[in-house]
Amino acid sequence: MKTDALSRYQARFARLVAGPAPVGELLEGVGDVLRRSDRLGTEGVEEALKGLGRPEVEAWLRAQKPQALQPLLLRAAEESMEVALGEAGDEAELWRASALEGLAARDRAASAARALVTWELLKGPLEGDAASARERFLGALGHLDTSLRPRARWFIPLNAERRAECDLLDPVERPGAWWFSARAGCDDLVATWTGKPLKDPAHLKDCVACRADRVDTAVVDTPPRRHLTDDELWRLDAGEMGREEKARVEAHTAWCGECAQAVLALEEGDAAIDEALELEEEGLSAPRAARESRAEGARRPGAARLPEHREVLEERRDFRVVLVRERQRVRLLVQPLGSRPVTAAVFLSPGRPSLKPTQGPEGLSFDLSTAVATGAHAAHLTVQAGQETLERDIAF
């Protein structure tokens, strides 16, 4: 099996260097080999990277949207849970294959980042805007990992495949590849969820992470709700939850990918505010008094709030994107922050017309309620403000 997997990586690399290949795919293929060089060697890697011109690499970097990996990994988490809790058969194997593809997408991004580092060693460092784009790319991957690595237990049902992939990586690469390595030995935690026989009871006793997960789950002594309420999310964001209630939320989000995504969105909102404030220090954001006022209003637990839950999904110099959850309505707001005109479009699926926005005092509002009613859980957002463009997949 390992030989087959290694052959797959090697064959993909050979196909890409035979060309022509898109820059991103070539970087991924090169990075795949570099991260498995103990078994695959590095023949042809240097030549492939030297063939990539600086303008091509810089254009690829500007187009990267690592944040799009978050909904992929959250969906993979839900599919992994389906593997664990559903019945065996063809359907379970479909869930497994789809979930593994989500993990593979994160791994390909790691390979591209690894190849980019080697390219700079060979061709010289990126400078100016390109260097900033590289830092944004790597920083976004790091933020994604910080948010999702603690929830690696979601992928325990895929441990057999994850261990096989982890074993192919060079030892130095394995700790960083948490999507393959984290909790890869905690198989019996799933058995405690499903009531199946334990394979290694000693592991549950000795593993700190498994013991903590079992304690968190044990405090849920009432039947679990389908989803966290808006009030619970608000109190979590405001820091008003006690230890026991936070443990219940943690236990619920261990199972529910949709609620986990809502909690992660709260964290991203704070991160967006921090990033905007940092940009302001560099002279790239709105006047300080206005920015501090907005940030303080978003964070202060005692601040006046509308009777809905708001999640800041993105904040730039000229606009802010906010997901608004009301009792029976979900809206996406695109709020102008500067003097530049802002246009936006929301697509529920490729090839379908965009949603029509309404113009209000807060900016452009897109009503997602109809989409939610039909079972849709994601949309693609495009925002244009001057020369700045945002392309982002939104999960709701």
Task: Name the band, by pLDDT with cuts 50, 70 and 90, for residue 224.
Answer: very low
> pLDDT value at position 172?
94
Does 157 lie in the same domain as 223?
A: no
User: At which of 305, 327, 345 does a domain end?
Assistant: 305
Query: Could you read off the pLDDT of 83-131 as tens digits, one per residue?
Result: 887 666 777 888 899 999 999 999 999 999 999 999 999 999 999 999 9
Q: What token pair was written down for 311? A: 């999640």
Is there a single domain that holds both residue 137 and residue 27? yes
**Domain assignment present for 209:** no
Q: Using alpha carbons only, how large is the chain's radius of gyration in Å? A: 23
**What is the residue whose two structure tokens read 């590849």?**
177
- Same domain for 18 and 89, yes or no, is yes
The two three-digit tokens of residue 216, written as one number: 């968190």
What residues make up the domain containing 37? Answer: 2-185
Is the domain of 11 the same as that of 160?
yes
Asked whether residue 242 is domain-assigned, the answer is: yes
Domain count for the chain: 3
Q: Which residues contact 39 (CB under 8 A, 6 or more apart)?
A: 6, 168
Max CA pair span of the chain: 63
Domain boundary among 262, 284, 305: 305
Q: How far is CA 57 from CA 185, 225, 352, in A?
A: 38, 48, 32
Q: pLDDT band at 285, cuts 50/70/90?
A: very low
Identify whether 47 is part of a domain: yes
Query: Of 185, 209, 241, which residue constitutes the final position of a domain?
Result: 185
Residue 350 located in a structural domain: yes
Sign of dihedral through CA atoms 107, 112, 115, 116?
Answer: negative
> DSSP class of residue 355?
B
What pTM, to 2 d.p., does this model score?
Answer: 0.59
Distances (CA, A) of 189 to 179, 183, 200, 209, 326: 17, 10, 10, 10, 36
pLDDT digits 0-9 by tens, 175-198: 999 999 999 999 888 887 767 788
Q: Which two tokens stand for residue 103?
A: 């993990």
